[in-house]
Amino acid sequence: MGIGTAIGRTLTFYAVLLLLLRIMGKREIAALSPFDLVVTIMIAELAALPMENPDITLLDALVPILTLTLAEIVVSYVTLKSETVRLLLTGTPSIIIRGGEIIESEMRRVRYNLSDLMLQLRLKGVSNIADVEVAILETNGELSVIPKSQRRPLVPADLDVKTDYEGLPLVLVVDGVVNKSNLRQASLDDQWLTARLQERGIESVEEVLLASLDTVGRLFVQRKNRPRRKERADIL
């Protein structure tokens, strides 16, 4: 197999796999169910074989990959409609800690050791098991931790304090490129942006690494190749 053919086959499978994974849906690796993980591994193996072996035709290689993708889509649809199938394929969450006490029998059943438990608690910012009301081992292997009410951080609602609405900021410039859609969404234009940048001593948008506008009109701007510093706010 020549170099050109090898490159062509590799790029073909690369494009096909990207398309199929996009069709299969958006999921993080940590959020994959056992079935999803098995399908992903099998598809990767099936794609690697024809790239290494020129005797396998593209059609022979694509048929099993497309079959697995179709099976994944069908099973995903069935699990949306059937709780029985969903429980069969993904299992059920397990309560590991309740009321500040470890449930040893459940840990043995799911083969979850104390070292992993302490690691996950530290990652959640919990240092004392006695502070945990409930800890649940989810079906994707993540540990959900609900602290006791006395150990939870205060929020404005606890003090009956009203707060202003805070939404997602609009990114106006990324690496010197203006996001025209977000600029229009904020009912602003290029002239407004240019004027705000000039007030900060920036003559060209290409000098901007990031510019974003929050929901109360504060504009954040950071230049390229500049040390990080606190930028003053510009109120609309």
What is the residue extent of each domain of the chain? Answer: 3-87, 94-151, 170-223
Confidence of residue 1 (pLDDT cuts 50, 70, 90): low
Q: Quick one: pLDDT at residue 80?
A: 82
pLDDT per position as a tens digit, 155-165: 888 888 888 77
Query: Are 94-151 and 170-223 equal in CATH topology?
Result: yes
97: which 2 tokens?
């800690």
Q: Say if residue 139's pLDDT is above 90.
A: no
The torsion of the CA quartet 205, 208, 212, 217, rounded to 10 degrees, works out to -60
Q: Quick one: pLDDT at residue 132?
A: 95
The span from the CA of 146 to the CA of 97, in Å, is 10
Q: Quick one: pLDDT at residue 36?
A: 74
Averaged pLDDT for residues 66-71 = 86
Q: Say if residue 23's pLDDT is above 50.
A: yes
Q: Quick one: pLDDT at residue 102?
A: 95
CA distances in angstroms from 108 to 26, 94, 114, listed in the order given: 33, 11, 10
Averaged pLDDT for residues 62-68 = 87
Question: What is the second-level CATH architecture of the domain 170-223?
Answer: 2-Layer Sandwich (3.30)
Task: Using the structure block, give the residue that is written with the tokens 């040390």.
Answer: 227
Confidence of residue 144 (pLDDT cuts 50, 70, 90): very high
Contact 91, 140 (CB under 8 A): no
The span from the CA of 143 to the CA of 121, in Å, is 8
Question: What is the second-level CATH architecture of the domain 94-151?
Answer: 2-Layer Sandwich (3.30)
3 or 218: which leads in pLDDT: 218
**Phi and psi at residue 93, to the nearest 5°:** -65, 155
Q: Say if residue 235's pLDDT is above 50.
A: no
**Phi and psi at residue 102, to the nearest 5°:** -75, 135
64: which 2 tokens?
């099993």
Q: Quick one: pLDDT at residue 69?
A: 85
For 6-72, the three-class secondary structure string (H helix, E strand, C coil) is HHHHHHHHHHHHHHHHHHHCCCCHHHCCHHHHHHHHHHHHHHHHHHHCCCCCHHHHHHHHHHHHHHH
Q: Which helix (H) or strand (E) holds 221?
A: strand 219-223
